Amino acid sequence: MNQPLVLMEGIEKRFPGVHALQNARFELMPGEIHALVGENGAGKSTLMKILTGVYQKDAGKIIYKGKEVDIPNPRAAQEMGISIVHQELNLMPHLTVAQNIFIGREPRNKRFPMFLDEEEMNRRTEELLEMLHLKVDPKTKVADLTVAKQQMVEIAKALSFNSEVLIMDEPTAALSEAEVEELFNILRKLKQKGMGIIYISHRLEELKEIADRVTVMRDGQYIGTTRIDEISIDKIISMMVGREIYETLREKDAEQNAEVVLEVRNLKRGREIKNVSFKLKKGEILGFAGLVGAGRTEVARAIFGADPIESGEIYVKGKKVYIKNPSDAIKHGIAYLSEDRKRYGLMLGLDVEANMILPSMQDFLNPIGFVRKKKAEKVCDEYIKKLKIKTPSLRQKVKNLSGGNQQKVIIAKWLMKNCDILIFDEPTRGIDIGAKNEIYRLLNELVSEGKSIIMISSELPEILRMSHRIIVMCEGRITAEIDGKEATEELIMKYATMYEN
């Protein structure tokens, strides 16, 4: 039998108030795609950060290519041949694609080594992007790319190290179906070359297509490892959560004659938004479907005042409103949960309480301008219990929470503001199956209370499961409006690919 490429045994890791890893283990063989799964907070990312030198283990051993090693920092891991594509984007938006990929190891001019060889760096970047079938100019600033393309740049950066171990943390969360298939083709080629790939994903259906083995973690502990063709998805879920999961469906139909709480007429902005019009009714979930780049997020940001529009009208409960910035939107009862929670949704350096009360700060101030701590703590505790947010305390910095719990903090802050119109852009991206179920249940509760929700999602099963009506977009246009009862994946994809001639 071949020697493991990576063997981690007895790994322990503690943070203040949290025993993150308890006797954890993991094994990776050469030429293997090994899935690592578990609920948010299970310890997957922590284990991988130890393997990549971001964190130091408190106990246990790491054996790499047959030798026990210490990995003191990320640079050491990269030099050993271990690279990671993080779940959260880790790029510098003000730099170009090429500069991001080769930062700190830029090729030098052969005649004048004190100067960088920009032409060579761009050439190498073109080769990497061509390998990923990504049509992007290496000189493009990362800030000008969509989230999906930024994710592909992260993957290109990892591949540029010629690594023997590649760790992918939720790599397909922001990718379209076509981009996912391209990525899988690339991973299969890398596997054939003998690379070991650790694949972390909450999209369990992907594992059957791409993985060889799967390791399950729960509450910081190793639960088990098995071949992917010898285990069902239901069994994996059972191992992950240690309890039965009931998928929450749309609970009831929306009232046909319900009040229109939001109406958008002829919204336009360049090629991103082309004459978009729709209505949102009280007590309904209006799903927005489409491929990456269809314009769904652009419409949401325009309604919320985050981006300017060229023309168009917005009505809230029949009254025309003028929204020039997010503050105007919030005053009119509109909240927006961004697809990029790290960039737009959170103050990562602040604690859980501060993030939750930020939009509602005025409600917690005493007459002389100080926060009423007891009131804030009481309300925040209620939302932590309601949303089942895993955090040691309200004083925990949000950057130390798992991705799913960060997402729940954002949801809590908008619920606390008590907005009637909620725009959720990819609300379950990077969230495990158990937490997804909780959020689905929460969305149903909100509409039953009379809230109205626009839900943008790249996951068609999610759109079909939760939406009363579905708006389909393609290239900035609305191509269809479908009743939730009549919608199918095939019908949505038909309209999502209805390109202009």
Q: Which of 239, 244, 241, 242 is nearest to 228 (CA)?
A: 239
Higher local confidence (pLDDT), 501 or 85: 85
Question: Which of 4-13, 128-137, 187-196: highest mean pLDDT?
Answer: 4-13
Mean pLDDT, rounded, for 142-148: 83
Q: Rounded distance, CA 145 to CA 135, Å?
A: 11
Higher local confidence (pLDDT), 174 or 338: 338
Q: Which of 393, 479, 38 is nearest to 470 (CA)?
A: 479
Which residues neighbour 348 within 8 Å (Cβ) at sequence distance 6 or greater? Answer: 342, 397, 398, 399
Mean pLDDT, rounded, for 399-414: 84
Whether 296 and 473 have beta carbons less than 8 Å apart is answered as yes
% of the chain beyond a pLDDT of 90: 49
251: confidence class by pLDDT, cuts 50, 70, 90: low
Mean pLDDT, rounded, for 128-154: 85
Whether 213 and 225 have beta carbons less than 8 Å apart is answered as yes
501: confidence class by pLDDT, cuts 50, 70, 90: low
Q: Rounded distance, CA 72 to CA 50, Å?
A: 9
Tens of pLDDT, residues 354-380: 999 988 888 888 888 888 889 999 999
Per-domain residue ranges of the chain: 6-241, 248-333+420-501, 342-418
Place of tokens 């009637």: 420
Mean pLDDT, rounded, for 467-482: 94
Question: Which of 55-59, 112-116, 494-498: highest mean pLDDT?
Answer: 55-59
CB-neighbour burial class of residue 340 (10 A; exposed 0-12, middle 13-18, buried 19+): middle
Q: What is the model's pLDDT at position 243?
A: 56
Q: Indicate whether 33 pLDDT > 50.
A: yes
Mean pLDDT, rounded, for 484-491: 89
Q: Rounded distance, CA 254 to CA 285, Å?
A: 8
Q: Which of 24, 23, 9 is nearest to 64 (CA)?
A: 9
Selected from 3.40.50.300, 2.40.50.140, 3.40.50.1980, 3.40.190.10, the CATH number assigned to the domain covering 248-333+420-501 reads 3.40.50.300
Mean pLDDT, rounded, for 113-139: 87
Question: Which of 104-108, 241-245, 323-327: highest mean pLDDT?
Answer: 323-327
Q: Which of 276, 306, 305, 271 is nearest to 288 (CA)?
A: 276
Q: What is the model's pLDDT at position 174?
A: 67
Q: Indicate whether 438 pLDDT > 90.
A: no
Question: Which range is least confidently modeled, 101-105, 351-355, 427-431?
Answer: 427-431
Mean pLDDT, rounded, for 111-135: 86
The mean of the pLDDT values for the chain is 88
253: confidence class by pLDDT, cuts 50, 70, 90: low
Q: What is the model's pLDDT at position 224?
A: 94
Q: What is the model's pLDDT at position 132?
A: 76
Q: Indicate whether 384 pLDDT > 60.
A: yes
Q: What is the model's pLDDT at position 19?
A: 87
Mean pLDDT, rounded, for 448-461: 90
Q: Rounded distance, CA 214 to CA 229, Å?
A: 10
The DSSP 8-state label assigned to residue 349 in this structure reads T
Higher local confidence (pLDDT), 429 or 331: 331
Q: What is the model's pLDDT at position 454?
A: 97
58: three-class secondary structure by DSSP: coil
69: confidence class by pLDDT, cuts 50, 70, 90: very high
Q: Which two tokens stand for residue 263?
A: 């109406």
Q: What is the model's pLDDT at position 323?
A: 95
Tens of pLDDT, residues 7-17: 999 999 998 77
Higher local confidence (pLDDT), 207 or 251: 207
Higher local confidence (pLDDT), 390 or 29: 29
Q: In CATH terms, are 6-241 and 248-333+420-501 the same topology? A: yes
Question: Which range is least confidently modeled, 40-54, 142-156, 203-217?
Answer: 142-156
Mean pLDDT, rounded, for 450-455: 94
The yes/no answer on whether domain 6-241 falls in CATH 3.20.20.70 is no
Q: What is the model's pLDDT at position 263?
A: 96
190: confidence class by pLDDT, cuts 50, 70, 90: confident
Strands of 213-218's sheet, edge to edge? 82-85, 165-169, 196-200, 33-37, 213-218, 221-227
386: three-class secondary structure by DSSP: helix
246: confidence class by pLDDT, cuts 50, 70, 90: very low
